[in-house]
Amino acid sequence: MPVPLLVLDIPGLSPQLLKRGDRMPTIKSLADNGMSCALRPPFPALSATAHASIFTGTHAMEHGIVGNALFDRTRYELGYAEPFANLTTGARLWQTAKKRKPDFTVAALFWNGLLYGDCDLYLSPAPFKTERGDFVSDCFSRPRDLYTKLAKALGPFDCKWLWGPTLTFQASQWIARAARQVFEENQPNLTLAYLPQLDASIQKYGVNSPQVLIDLGKIDTLVKEFMDIVAKKSGVLILMSDYGMTDVKGEIAINRILRSTYFLEVREIAGKEYIDFGYSKAFAVVDHQIAHVFVNSNLTKPIKDLLVEVPGIESVLDEQGKKDFKVAHGRCGDLIAIAAKDKWFHYPWWVDDAKAPGFARRVDPARKMGYDPLEMIQDPRTKQIETNPALIKASHGRPPRDVSEMGVFLCSRRSADKPPDVLSAVELGAYLLKLAGI
């Protein structure tokens, strides 16, 4: 008899934070009375990559999601991997399940990489701009009326709760309530919900900061609300995290380094500097603690030789290195730089702040060369996005060096199929199906 599973993804939750059981008694009880282990993220340790690895049971070199930010070499444009299902290659875990049990159903709320795909029940933020350029919040759902029903019961979801300086705990709270309603009313075999608050809080304040401890308590309250609901359905509650995080003490402005060594060229337009892709020999797309370096000429080796000497860069993967880390794919940079444990990659290429493009102080990820965590922080004087990289206190993305840097897997019910001490993300999907009795 299949067992309904409800999985809460809490990125940033780590074995290190689980030691703070005083702040999260419900989660501690779950770990003590059920099953628990460390969860090894794929490389890179980023949510888009982790979710693709969980859904397909493969590494980035096979499913193609090599980071959150994906650079199009033919159009010289940056896009993001989070929403779209057709960017991921490989069979999904529910497709495998349906071959064994045709009526198997899965619900996914705010998980990456499923938009316009074949997930049975799905909910994703899908904001759009009007012809006047106004931002309008909305969500895409499958079936079509799922979001309408949830919005009627819970109030509409405001996409601004998820991004930028308006990011708030309300996002995780709303998603959790929506997941409970979907679990109770639709009774899927597998329900997946993504709760983003802890990830953002750790980046802004640091792993052991007072603000993070407060958020752990809030998240624990959300988890407690699931316990009785899941038990009534004779189900299993699972908590997991895509990755752990590490405190950082500085940034690596890799594009400025490439510019200072004449590998990156700029164009000045109306007094502002932009990357000149036509004349640049190399440039980098940053993603937390990794950077994809794209090389336009036969200079891969000298650029690698340059970068390995940069303080704060732990290693630089060439073609063989990418194969070793199972990330070799056409979407990768020619090189991948990996930051040291206490560093992260920052995207700017200008040296004079007066020549920074206008988007530097806006929430505008498509125009920046990768992820900018400073978009979460607003300058209280100007009401614009902060540009001081010292305000970022933690990051992730690099391969974990020990268990403390990994994610976690917690299960409310003991099973004969006990997980190993360390479960990998590529093994997690198959393991979930085992727990579900598929």
Q: Would you say residue 81 has pLDDT above 70?
A: no
Q: What are phi and psi of 256, to 5 degrees?
A: -70, -35
User: Which amino acid belongs to residue 218?
Assistant: K
Please answer whether residues 277 and 283 qualify as being in contact, where contact means their C-beta atoms are separated by less than 8 angstroms.
Answer: yes
Residue of 91, 138, 81, 145 lying closest to 115 (CA atoms):
81
pLDDT in tens, 109-166: 999 999 889 999 999 998 887 777 677 899 999 999 999 999 999 999 999 999 889 9
pLDDT tens per residue across span 172-229: 999 999 999 999 999 999 999 999 999 999 999 999 999 999 999 999 999 999 998 9
Residue 1 pLDDT greater than 70, yes or no: no
Pairing of strands 394-395, 246-247: antiparallel
Verdict on whether the full-model pTM lies above 0.85 = yes
Residue 82 confidence (pLDDT): 65
Residue 136's DSSP bridge partners are 128
Crossing angle for the helix pair 169-186 and 210-232, to the nearest 10 degrees = 10
Domains and CATH numbers, the chain: 5-246+399-435 (3.40.720.10), 250-392 (3.30.1360.110)
Cis peptide before 143 (omega within 30 of 0): yes
Is residue 77's pLDDT more than 70?
A: yes
CA–CA dist 144, 309 (Å, integer)? 53
Instruction: Grade residue 273 by pLDDT with cuts at 50, 70 and 90.
Output: very high
Instruction: Collect all residues with Cβ–Cβ distance below 8 Å to 87 and sequence separation of at least 6.
Output: 64, 65, 70, 81, 113
Q: Please give the pLDDT value at position 339.
A: 98
pLDDT at site 374: 97
